[in-house]
Homo-oligomer: A and B are copies of this chain.
């Protein structure tokens, strides 16, 4: 197509009056319908051990909820805490506790300023917001399909004791879909860090969220840390937000026994216990790992066609265009569309004129700063299949106009 033809198609698209918010990775209503049993009557409120789930207590979560997450995360139930409705809140609080108290025998990070985190990029904007809000300095490290640039990571953490943590989304990473290789996980677990209280914030948000028939796995980071002699290095976070209901699900963290004891001490002053009614509802609905995996297969069947529709439009409208690439994720919730340098912001603005709201340019980078202005996060999950196909075409046209312009 000539640039006139592109512009004409773009202008025609604008007349459609589309209005689509694709800024966040939200499950679609049909996905939420898969868990409608959670809205049904709860028959009996007594947990397996006789606990009346309607009353106070059980700060680390119902034993059966801990057991369920243990089976999903391949860790012992005693090393799992189930609390709250959002793994993001658990990550936030873990960092806050490190700042105010220090982790297991170490000084509070707030007394060891500056505190620095490594941030594989592109990454998850809400991770970076936590750091920015809490005054934690961020250093970007490039993320490839098999994980972060480990040579650079090892060099940085060995030489800088202010580097206290690193964000990791080990599987189907947000937004690029990267899957950390066994070698990467082992090197992260074993690397020499100048800071003795260095932490891997292991956001296993998409552990069970496959898009392809091949169910990718990553090696167990807690076991790898243990084997490498750094048993307290990683805290694993997960939730059912994209398994059951987003915002009304369960969140959990897993770590070494020492870190879990630390977490329990620090949270015991904050809360008398989580919402055990919702935990009981979830355990009864989700039952066990096999059942969760069957549920995730139904999510996959709803999500896969949407991703395919986006990829088909990108192939059709962006295939062979110089400097334009995009990821073909095997799982997770996002496609990372990479534009020629200096085109992401303009494309997002042009898409906005078509009625398509995308994640802000730069969101996948610390401080919102995508220096080359190249990355656009595409979230295909929420719109209907027809809408997403149309929107993908609109985004492609916007990018073509941006490149031409």
Residues in A lying within 8 Å of B, measured CB to CB: 24, 26-27, 29, 32, 35, 38-42, 45, 52-57, 84-86, 88-89, 92-93, 96, 99-100, 110, 126, 129-130, 132-134, 241, 245-248, 266, 269-278
Contact = CB atoms under 8 A, between A and B. Distances in A.
28 contacts: A26-B56, A29-B52, A29-B55, A32-B54, A32-B55, A38-B277, A40-B41, A41-B41, A54-B245, A54-B247, A54-B248, A55-B246, A56-B246, A57-B247, A85-B274, A88-B271, A92-B271, A93-B270, A96-B100, A99-B100, A100-B110, A130-B270, A133-B269, A247-B272, A247-B276, A248-B277, A275-B275, A278-B278
Contacts of A45: 39
Nearest to A130: B269
Contacts of A39: 41-42, 45, 277
Nearest to A111: B110
Contact of A269 (B40, B56, B92, B275): B92
A100 to B, nearest CB: 7
What's the number of copies of this chain in the assembled complex? 2
A100 B376 CA distance: 33
Contacts of A133: 266, 269
A89 to B, nearest CB: 5
Nearest to A110: B110
A272 B96 contact: no
B271 A89 contact: yes
- For the residues of A in contact with B, the DSSP-based class is loop
Given A41-B40, A96-B100, A275-B85, A55 B269 contact: no
Contacts of A88: 270-272
Nearest to A42: B39
B56 A24 contact: yes
A132 B270 CA distance: 12
B56 A247 contact: yes
Q: Which of A53, A54, A110, A278 gathers the greatest number of chain B CB atoms within 10 Å? A: A54
Nearest to A32: B54
A72 to B, nearest CB: 20
A27 B88 CA distance: 31
A53 B85 CA distance: 13
Given A270-B88, A278-B248, A27 B40 contact: no
A191 to B, nearest CB: 28
B32 A269 contact: no
Contacts of A89: 270-271
A334 to B, nearest CB: 15
Contacts of A54: 29, 32, 35, 245-248
A109 to B, nearest CB: 11
B86 A271 contact: yes
A24 B42 CA distance: 27
A55 B247 contact: yes
Contacts of A129: 269
Given A54-B248, A88-B271, 6 more contacts: A32-B55, A35-B54, A85-B271, A85-B275, A92-B270, A247-B274
Contacts of A275: 85, 247-248, 275, 278
Contacts of A26: 55-56
3 closest residue pairs by CB, A with B? A248-B277, A32-B54, A92-B270
A45 B36 CA distance: 10
